[in-house]
């Protein structure tokens, strides 16, 4: 029997960023990420082997790439190709920011 979960349930009270793996297979990983005013450490850049498709379900955030800054609001999504350096510059400090991130290793079509 399948169990139903809700992406907005059981939100932690902690202000630490929480990453929960919802689904994992050899080529795909889906995570719920909960941020509370969190951001990447100064000078830190993600340089991932996987592609990342991410949608902001609640809150707001700023993603910094080497050449630009992108403001995200609820409902915005983007694809970050593997090895595209990026960092989280800011997340909302007035409400939880909830991300759904899908990581995958298959090539991305142009």
Q: What CATH number corresponds to the domain at position 47?
A: 2.60.120.10
Separation of alpha carbons 42 and 25, rounded Å: 32
Beta-bridge partner residues of 101: 31, 54
Band (pLDDT 50/70/90 cuts) for residue 29 is: very high
Q: Which domain holds residue 29?
A: 18-104
pLDDT at 109: 65
Q: Is residue 43 part of a domain?
A: yes
In a domain, 55, yes or no: yes
Spatial separation of the C-alpha atoms in residues 69 and 14, rounded to whole Å: 27
| Domains identified in the chain, total number | 1
Q: What is the pLDDT of residues 36-90, one digit of tens each?
A: 999 999 999 999 999 999 999 999 999 999 999 999 999 999 999 999 999 999 9
Domain assignment present for 24: yes
DSSP letter at 108 equals P
Single pTM value for the model: 0.89
């Amino acid at each position: 029997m399948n169990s139903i979960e809700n992406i907005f349930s059981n939100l932690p009270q902690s202000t630490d960023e929480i990453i929960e793996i919802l689904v994992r297979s050899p080529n795909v990983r889906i995570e719920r990420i909960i941020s509370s005013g969190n951001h990447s450490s100064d000078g830190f850049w993600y340089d991932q082997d996987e592609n990342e498709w991410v949608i902001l379900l609640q809150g707001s955030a700023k993603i910094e790439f080497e050449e630009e800054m992108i403001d995200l609001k609820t409902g915005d999504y983007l694809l970050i190709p593997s090895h595209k350096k990026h960092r989280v510059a800011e997340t909302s400090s007035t409400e939880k920011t909830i991300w759904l991130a899908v990581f995958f290793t298959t090539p991305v079509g142009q």
